[in-house]
Structure 1
C-alpha cells in the first residue's frame, strides 16, 4: 500500500499533526474526533487491486463504480454523490510553450467522513502547493474535508485561467497574422482550434455539477462560508468557459478569412499567369506564321521585313502589358 501513497497528513482544528498508522488514525477520528478533523491521503497511479486494498484497509466505504472510475482515469470532469461520500473527477491541464499544445491529465478526489483521498493520474496534477497553501490558512482548514476539496478545485481552475491567458495570446497572434500581408497555414489554425476544443472538453462538463455544490439542497457542502468559496470557483470557471467559446467562434471566422485570402491570392496568381501567357502568345504566333516555310511570303524578301515584324511583336507585347497593368492583372 505504501508504494502508491505519496503523501499523508492528519488535520485537527485546522492544524497539521503527526500521522501514524492510517487505519488507527482514522478509527480515532471516527470515534472521538471533531467533524472537521480529517485525514488527507494522496495516491499516484494506483492499480485496481491497490485502491481496493486501501479502501478495505481503511474502511473508506468507496463505491465500486467510483473505484473503477478512479483507476481508469479516462473520465470526463464530474461530481458524483455516493451516500455520504463525494467523488470528483477533474481534468488537469498544462500548456506547452514550445508547441502551443495543451496536455491533459486527471485528478480524482474522494471526500467522506473524516477523510480526503486524492488520486493523481500522470504528472499534470501537483498538489504540494495546494496542501501548503491550505496549511497556511488554519481558519479555512478548520472547515473540514470540504475545505480541502475547495482548495484542490480552486487550484485546478486557477490553472485553467493561466492557460486561458496563453491561448488568448496564440489566438491574437494568429488573427494578426491572417489579417497582415502574409499567409498563414490552415494547419496552424486547425491545430490551435483542436487545442481549444481540448480545453473546452476539460471545462464544460464541470460547470453544472460545480454549481450544484453551492446552490442545490443536495449539496454535500455543509458550511455557508464554504458554499461562497465554491461559488467563487464557479464564477472563475464560467469566465474561462465563456472565453473559450469566444475563441472557438473567432478561430472559425479566422479560418474562413484565411481560406478566402488564400483563394484571392490564388486568383491573383492565375490572372498574372494568364496575362503573361497572353503576352507570350503574340510573338509565338507571329514566329509560328513566318516559320511555316511557304514560298509565296513576300515579307520574307523585304529589306526591312525582319525589323518590321520584331517591331510589331514589341508593340503588341507592350500594348498587352500596359492593358493588363491598367486592369491590375500584373
Structure 2
C-alpha cells in the first residue's frame, strides 16, 4: 500500500480482499509453472479470461501484448547464456524461458516458465523504491520488462564474444572449422532473435496513449526500455549477418582445400603414370622391341623412369602442386 509492502502472509483471495478494502493498493501474485488447476483457481479469483489461462499453462508463446477489458496480458521470452569452454564444442549457447504478466487495476499476476526466470531481484528492487511502487501495478509491469530486456543486453555481450571467436577460427589458416559449428551458433542466434525481436511491437504499444490503461509516467519509462530493446534487436541482426558471411567463408575455405588436395592427387598420379606406362609398353612381349638386346637396357630404363619422375616432382613442387 502506497509503495510499502504489507506485513504478514496472505492467500491470493485474502490478499485481493485486503487491497480492495484499502486505497492505492494492489496485490502481486507470483507463480512458477502452474498446472491447469492452480491457474484456474487464480483466474477465478482475479477474473482472468480463459484464453489467458490456456496460454499461461501451456506456455511456448511468442512475445505479445493483449487486452481483455481492463486486464492487460503481456508475454515475455527470457534468455540466459549457457557457459561453455569453446564455441566449437558447445551444444547449447542460450536457453529460453517465459514470463507472463497479467495486470489489472489492483493486481499483478506473474507466471514463470523456466528455471532462470526468477523475479525475486525485481521484487526486492521495487520494495526499496516505494515512490516507484506507489505508481501501481503498471510500475511492476515496467520493472519486469526492464529486467528482461536488461538480461538481453547481458546475453548478447557474451554471445558477441562467441561470434568473434568463431570469426577468428574461420579466418585462421591453421585451423579447420566444421561448418556444423557455425550452423550451431547461427541456430542459437535464430532462437535468440525469435525470443527478442517480436517484443518490439508490444513495447511500442505500451508507449502509446491509446487504450488509457498505462499511466503517462509509466509510458515514459517504457520508452527507455524500448530503446534498449532496439539496440539488442539490431545487434542480433548484425550477428546473424556475420554468421551468414562466416558460413560462406568456411565453404570457400573448404573448396580451396579440396582444390589443393585434388592438385596433389593429380600430381602424384602423373608421376606414377611414368613407370606404369613404361612397364606397360615393355610388358607386351613382342620380339622386335627397341633395346631388348642391349646389355644395359634394364638399367637405362630405370634411370630414365627415375629421371622423369624426379623432374615431374620438382616441376609440380615449383608450381605449388606438391
Unaligned runs of 5+ residues in structure 2 are 85-89
Matched residues in 1 for 2:178 and 2:204: separation?
40
Matched residues in 1 for 2:14 and 2:116: separation?
32
Query: Residue 7 of structure 1 aligns with which residue?
Result: none
Structure 2 length-normalised TM: 0.93
Matched residues in 2 for 1:124 and 1:178: separation?
32
Per-residue CA deviation, residues 292-321 of structure 1 (Å, 9 max, x unaligned), is 333333523322222211221122112212
Superposed counterparts of 1:19-30, under 5 Å: 19-30=9-20
Alignment equivalent of 1:221, drawn from 211, 214, 217: 214
Alignment equivalent of 2:104, drawn from 112, 118, 141: 112
Superposed counterparts of 1:103-252, under 5 Å: 103-181=95-173, 182-218=175-211, 220-224=213-217, 226-252=218-244
Superposed counterparts of 1:51-62, under 5 Å: 51-56=39-44, 58=45, 60-62=46-48
Is 1:80 equivalent to 2:73 in the alignment?
Answer: no
Matched residues in 1 for 2:15 and 2:298: separation?
110
Computed over aligned residues only, the root mean square deviation of the Cα atoms, in angstroms, reads 1.6
CA contact (8 A) 1:213 1:219 kept: no
Alignment equivalent of 1:13, drawn from 2, 18, 23: 2
Tell me the CA shift for residue 21 of structure 1: 4.2
Specify the SS of the correspondent of 1:62: coil
Tell me the CA shift for residue 219 of structure 1: 5.2
Per-residue CA deviation, residues 200-238 of structure 1 (Å, 9 max, x unaligned), is 1001111011111113422521132x2221111111111
Unaligned runs of 5+ residues in structure 1 are 1-11
Aligned residues: 314
Structure 1 length-normalised TM: 0.91
Per-residue CA deviation, residues 232-282 of structure 1 (Å, 9 max, x unaligned), is 111111101001111111111110111011011101100110001001110
CA contact (8 A) 2:43 2:49 kept: no
Instruction: Report runs of 4+ in structure 1 exceeding 4 Å deviation.
Output: none
Matched residues in 1 for 2:171 and 2:12: separation?
61
